[in-house]
Structure 1
């Protein structure tokens, strides 16, 4: 085997100390290196074919240069967040360990051991908006792990979250459909579970709806609550739509609801964008641009949220931001105007 080229070899060839080579490679703050010296070091590195020993540097710095991304691989929103997260990490010289799961919460705790073993430097997770596991939050704090939750821990100030302003997103959706129709918006509120319950995001959306309607002198009770069923009762959607005064302006908290409105309009021979105007306040199913006609929506910018999560994790690791600073990172929503 060929002898491995070391930083000593680079220093000897460039005629400098090993400390200068390290300063050039790591851009060490407080050590000034002239452009002539920097050029000599870089030329020596190229001629010798020197490669940084990442494992050794990690041991010296106490970092693995790797973050773990935890989430449900079946959730397209996790993949969107991951795109933004990985982009920022790559630019910063960090690797991303993809830790996909099918909602197995026990898998989160495997990441604790990886952090203790210095195989990762921090964790980001894409959570449901109602996620607030106190045991996990306590484990993060006790182990002093740099951690960011995208969408979770909305009401727990002890955990750093990246959140969109869901109340503002509903008001933006209502402003847009009001501008287009001047009709009092009807709110179709979709919820999950066997009993009527809303997560934090949808509670904020409803609050935004109620405030907006009152501000415009309209009745905030023009609301229908529909359960997100695997086998949707289409007749129920058709029945509600049949009772609406046309032309109707409908806002749904989920794109799932907008899709059901499209189906009901088809059955009743109503024209989307003529008889019934529809808008969604999310992009969960990633179908808004492909519906016919394409659906306008206030969409959650998960790529940007991933980038901001990576930025904060790096600040935690470098010490630019204290782990005690768990200030929520607020992200504005994005209005996507399409044909409908």
Structure 2
């Protein structure tokens, strides 16, 4: 090809010219069109031309030909994304790519554009959100050709990711109660952006305490800094009936509690047991090593991919994994 041709965007016409076939033949080969008898030697010539030219058909063109978008759009909320969510997004992208779908994640943090403008501009086949999807928004997406909508968090007890988050809190409280602790504290985060996680986890702790005949947890907000952690530990351990174990929102908050306990002179786990969430790498190397609850990000990614694929194929949605994707990891802190 000429240098001028290489500077412009390659098209199927260029592939056809390079392979010495018609443009229709290129289309049949690239789209694996059924009921078209293309000799194997011709197919090889087309794919060899694609490789030589570095040709990649646009998503828009493929959508027009197939009548369906190949894009799965994830609308990411305004969160500080941790290790688990990052791993889940990577695994989800791989799972969708394996079936020919393109995963696009759009962070909403700092975005001034309405959500509707985002999905309308991309015209995806499916939309994933962490926030509940309003019925009116679902209807608008359906009318625009979005075939699948998945909201990870649903309101109330309707299901979704909140189910496994509640199970996370229950696992924390059940483990501490099994170790003989009767007065539990809860280290709540000070970041409103993560309330969608923190509230169901705390609800799980409260529910477990009620079922086990324990007092409600002593909830205190703990920032990830020394003064806040020190103040919380002092309040938990003061008085004639002190808290003897703390469920922390996540591992980072739990490590702050460990630091506050060290500053106050409270021994972990003898005087105060601590359990976190997320199984961050630091949880295994702090002293004492942190007991925590881990979420199987791969299992969650597999569920989401299966839900999208089933929806696009008009098949029943898979069963949500629920408590199957959370696991207690026992170390030295509790």
User: Offset of 1:174 from its aligned partner?
Assistant: 3.5
2:118 is aligned with 1:111? yes
Matched residue, 2:104:
97
Matched residue, 1:295:
290
Gaps of 5+ in 2: 3-12
Root mean square deviation of aligned Cα: 4.3
- TM-score for the superposition, normalised by structure 2: 0.71
Deviations 1:11-63 (A, max 9, x none): 89xxxx959x94x765678x699xxx886565444544465745543211123
Matched residue, 1:237:
233
Find the residue that maps to 1:239 and give its secondary structure: helix
User: Offset of 1:266 from its aligned partner?
Assistant: 0.7
Q: In 2, Cα distance between the equivalents of 1:294 and 1:237? A: 18
User: Offset of 1:110 from its aligned partner?
Assistant: 1.7
2:57 is aligned with 1:62? no
Gaps of 5+ in 1: 215-219
Find the residue that maps to 2:307 and give its secondary structure: helix
Matched residue, 1:307:
302
Matched residue, 1:276:
272
**Structure 2 CA distance for partners of 1:261 and 1:156, relative to 1, 3 Å:** closer
Matched residue, 2:8:
none
2:140 is aligned with 1:147? no
Whichever structure has more helix as a proportion of its residues is 2
Residues 283 and 300 of structure 1 are in contact (CA less than 8 Å); yes or no, is this contact kept in structure 2?
yes
Structure having greater relative contact order (Cα 8 Å, sep ≥ 6)? 1
User: Offset of 1:295 from its aligned partner?
Assistant: 1.3
- TM-score for the superposition, normalised by structure 1: 0.69
- Within 5 Å, give how 1:157-168 maps onto structure 2: 161-168=160-167
Matched residue, 2:127:
123
Find the residue that maps to 2:14 and give its secondary structure: coil
Matched residue, 1:208:
208
Residues 188 and 248 of structure 2 are in contact (CA less than 8 Å); yes or no, is this contact kept in structure 1?
yes
User: Offset of 1:171 from its aligned partner?
Assistant: 3.3
Q: In 1, Cα distance between the equivalents of 2:140 and 2:222? A: 33
Q: In 2, Cα distance between the equivalents of 1:203 and 1:292? A: 29
Q: In 2, Cα distance between the equivalents of 1:140 and 1:327? A: 23
User: Offset of 1:10 from its aligned partner?
Assistant: 8.2
Matched residue, 1:5:
15
User: Offset of 1:226 from its aligned partner?
Assistant: 1.0
Deviations 1:153-179 (A, max 9, x none): 24385xx94454234333333343445
